[in-house]
Amino acid sequence: MESAAALPAPLTILVGRDAEVRATVRLLITGHRLISLVGTAGSGKTRLAIAVGAAVRTPVWFADLTTMQVDDAAGFVLDAFAVARRPDLDAAGTLLATLGDGPALLVLDNCEHVTTQVADLAARLLDAAPALAVLVTSRQALGLPGETVAPVAPLDDETALRLFETRMFERTGRPLPDGHRAGAAAICRALDGLPLAVELAAARAALLSVPEVRRLLADRFRVLADAKAGGPEHHRTLRAALDWSYELLSPDKQALLRQLAVFQGGWSPAAAATLPAHGPGLLAALTERSLIDTTGAPRGRMLQTVAAYAAARLTEVPDEAAAARDAHARCYLDLAERAADGIRGPGQRDLLRMFTVEQDNLRAAMTWLSTRPGAEDLRLATALAPFLHFTGVYRQGRDWLSGALDRRPDAPAQLRAAAGAAAATLAMLDCDYPAAAALAELALGGSPGGPARGRLLTLLGCVERERADYRRSRRFLEEALTLYRDAGDAWGEGRAAQLAGATAWLSGDLAAAASLLDASLVAFRDLADDESVASTLTHLGAVAHFGGDQPGARRHLVGALDRFTELSFPEGIGWAQDLLGRVDLADSAVASAAERLRASLSIHRRVGDRWRSASVLEALAEARRRLGDPAHAAALLGAADVIRHEIGAPTPACELPARHATEEALHAELPGAAFDRAFRFGTRTGVDDLLDLAGTAGQLARA
């Protein structure tokens, strides 16, 4: 490579951009004469352009346009090259004469603030000099015909970590300690893999430590500055790099960028349109300037670093910040309430996907509304309860509802009753039966009757079912079934029948259970409620299993598990795996049973379902016994009893024969006091530790 106007000489090696260098050189070789390297602040565009210039075989002319403040782009470039204007030519003509007629590459760096002037210059140069190619770096494209835009994306996680390690080694002469690799990887992820940010973090870590830099990233713009580095300021500090982009925006674009910071995890076009600063074409303009990303259209997002910058800017205008957060919260409150109304129908899967995508925005809305006047936080917490049930986040929902109920004592009675019912449901799922019953009884006092009363009675029926008071459970559920039927509420009728069927099989009345569940299955199939269909199939699988029909049980349960998996419904997946494990035990497939039961236990414990966790531990005890580990089996029974005592729920009637059979077999296999010793060990050992001891008979025998 012949150097015409010398390329800057980097002091460090380029890391992780070999593919981009080769691709850009290939474009130049194959006749692409105008290439724009476009990316967000700190993505490494300049460093990449220098590497491309070093890799080509033609003369290279390099000009940094950072300080250009004039309209005469050609004149500025001539000054950068220290070339005097010829008296017989204008500035562009002089530049053309300087570049010559032969092949050459002109690199124009940092053009985002003068794109119009650079576009005009590039068009004239390329038209007049057929052998010339122009390589531009900018945060937005020039918009010329024939321009090839080459996006400069942040580094992937592995490459960003390699860059961090390389820069630390260059500064310290020592490799990154193995114990700090995970922390360094977390730093790189938090910085979106932006090379500038990663390099600055590595520089700080060389002086401080990786853990200390990770801790200080809460104030990333203060921490990530390198005052000793050379070059323009926006290449030396993260804040300056983003200030440079921000100050090039018009006031309306600045306002929208600030306000987009209220979103967490991205936004839909409809959600962005609710912001006060939103206007026609503004999102597209921010995308063109590499400040937001809409490649995952129709969803937009900002890099974490850009979002942190925008949020800092938003705090500078408190009234605007409050208006933006109010708009954001209203948007997601409306979305949640509309979704809650449709969750039990044919749109169920789409709504669950929506909740998964928007959960961070919904949490942010909840946090903001809890500080505002009115009862919108209570409305949002109530609307979110069904989704938190589906995703197994019972405790979060309970906290939101109890906090909002405490904050809004004067909210409308109907709203407080609905919130109380939602809180009671989540308390029951969390196995807090006294709280669930108390909340449901309280809500009954404000209930208008009909389906609303039916829902509360259904809940009380579930509480009593899990407490094994099957007579009271049936009474509540039968009254609820009548209320739903009289009101013409098909979904409520199907639900009450389903839960009454569950009470029946758990109590051992399999014939009644089958009749109720068959009716429920028909109702939910007509309503296209996938989750309820799957749950009913699960209960039918239980009826078949306890009735001795293992092939029929497996058929129902595999169908249920498939549906639950498609819905990503942890409670259902755990239930189906639990019952399939029991079917495997009945079929003497003991190793498969143990695997399924451990998977089920993991899910039930994660969501907080201690009632089913205890039952699964009892079934797993039988599997461990059959696998030749009786001491471990006895310890698992001890752990199950601790849970049952904590929640006040005995072993279900239909499971008692199996529990008793396991105990009798273990007493026969563990002589003397060995059973009691292992059982007591299980009562005082955490479940995680206990599961890790599978197969360690010697340790359990000595416990």
pLDDT in tens, 208-223: 889 998 888 877 877 7
Question: According to DSSP H, which parts of 18-101 are helical?
Answer: 18-29, 45-55, 73-80, 91-99
pLDDT at residue 584 tops 90:
yes
140's tokens: 């937005």
In percent, the amount of the chain with pLDDT more than 90 equals 75
pLDDT in tens, 648-657: 999 999 999 9
* Of 590, 591, 586, 594, residue with least CA distance to 616: 594
pLDDT at residue 3 tops 50:
no
d(CA 120, CA 89): 17
d(CA 366, CA 370): 6
pLDDT in tens, 417-446: 899 999 999 999 999 999 999 999 988 877
Instruction: Tell me the average pLDDT across 363-374.
Output: 95
d(CA 497, CA 402): 30
Instruction: Tell me the average pLDDT across 680-684.
Output: 95
Instruction: Tell me the average pLDDT across 589-618.
Output: 95
φ, ψ for residue 36, nearest 5 deg = -115, 120
pLDDT in tens, 512-566: 999 999 999 999 999 999 999 999 999 999 999 999 999 999 999 999 999 999 9
Give the pLDDT confidence score for residue 343 in this predicted structure. Answer: 85
523's tokens: 């109702």
390's tokens: 């589906």
d(CA 197, CA 241): 10
296's tokens: 């995952």
How many other C-beta atoms lie within 10 A of the C-beta of residue 145? 6
Give the pLDDT confidence score for residue 233 in this predicted structure. Answer: 55
pLDDT grade for 1, boundaries at 50, 70 and 90: very low
pLDDT at residue 448 tops 80:
no
pLDDT grade for 279, boundaries at 50, 70 and 90: very high
pLDDT at residue 703 tops 60:
no
577 contacts 606 by C-beta, under 8 angstroms: no
Give the pLDDT confidence score for residue 310 in this predicted structure. Answer: 94
Give the pLDDT confidence score for residue 232 in this predicted structure. Answer: 56
pLDDT at residue 98 tops 50:
yes
pLDDT at residue 700 tops 70:
no
pLDDT grade for 118, boundaries at 50, 70 and 90: very high
Q: First CA to last CA across the chain, in angstroms?
A: 76
151 contacts 38 by C-beta, under 8 angstroms: yes
Residue 105, strand partner residues = 60, 133
Mean per-residue pLDDT of the chain: 91
* pTM over cut 0.95: no
pLDDT grade for 227, boundaries at 50, 70 and 90: very low
pLDDT in tens, 380-418: 999 999 999 988 899 999 999 999 999 999 999 889 989
Q: Is 450 left (phi over 0), alpha (psi -120 to 50) or beta?
A: left
Give the pLDDT confidence score for residue 234 in this predicted structure. Answer: 53
Lowest mean pLDDT among 71-85, 314-328, 598-612: 71-85
Give the pLDDT confidence score for residue 226 in this predicted structure. Answer: 56
* Of 178, 184, 248, residue with least CA distance to 213: 184
pLDDT at residue 633 tops 50:
yes
pLDDT at residue 117 tops 50:
yes
Helices 470-487 and 450-466, axial angle in degrees (round to 10):
160
